[in-house]
Amino acid sequence: MNASLDHNHIRALTFDCYGTLIDWLTGVREGLAQVPSLAGCDLEQLVRDRDELDVQVVSHGYAPYSELLAESVRRAAERQGCYPLHSELERFAEGMGDWPAFEDSPSALARLATRFSLAILSNVEDRILARSVHKLGAHFETLVTAEQVRAYKPAHAHFHEALSRLGLDASQVVHVACSPWHDLKPALELGWATIWVRRDAAILPKHLRPNWIVSDLSEVAWTMGV
């Protein structure tokens, strides 16, 4: 970890949503388990392969993330000789907005909102994120999506847009996220303070050094002094 944060200087916290605030893996697993054409697939292998392929599908320029999510599932399923219907994959991807929040997210966000402005930087479409935000119950100063900036993290567009909307500079913001590649990497490249939420058994690359490492959102609130 780097040096501790100067809480008195911080004005806002920005968050990744899916995997950090919303339980991404549970949503993916439960959603895929309901796709009839995938009944013969090894579900855990499908989840791992889809995650690997996600990096590829978002690297070819902007398209709505629901389409890219469906495409990553299609490619992962084909590795196992399964061929889901397009309509099934559309329903799966659209269901992202209904995936559950982590139990600690709403209460921790409510605590953090008493002291800081909150924002979300997400790779999804506006309509999907709006449904997820409703589950979180907190007020967010701004929501920056890939649909708006026409780019995907780890590109820097979300981060530049967030600073512009918040009217702050990087020294006044902390980015909170679980993904080393999508979030910690670009935030650190831009000189932002970061909190890594280690939601699973992920291994942090040695070259990435967040200011703090925590296990859930309640620890983020404690770390930020609220």
What is the C-alpha to C-alpha distance for residues 169 and 162, in angstroms, rounded to an integer?
Answer: 10
Q: How far is CA 15 from CA 31, 37, 39, 67, 75, in A?
A: 24, 34, 34, 23, 29
**Which of 71, 49, 48 has the alpha carbon at shortest distance from 58?**
71
Residue of 16, 23, 54, 183 marked catalytic: 16
**Which of 132, 147, 109 has the alpha carbon at shortest distance from 224?**
109
What is the C-alpha to C-alpha distance for residues 88 and 81, in angstroms, rounded to an integer?
Answer: 16
Distance of CA 59 to the CA centre of its chain: 16
| Residue showing tokens 């490619």 | 75
What is the C-alpha to C-alpha distance for residues 162 and 203, in angstroms, rounded to an integer?
Answer: 27
Q: Is 54 a catalytic residue?
A: no
Residue type, 152: Y
For 68, residues 6+ apart whose C-beta sits below 8 A from its C-beta are: 54, 57, 58
Residues marked active site are found at 16
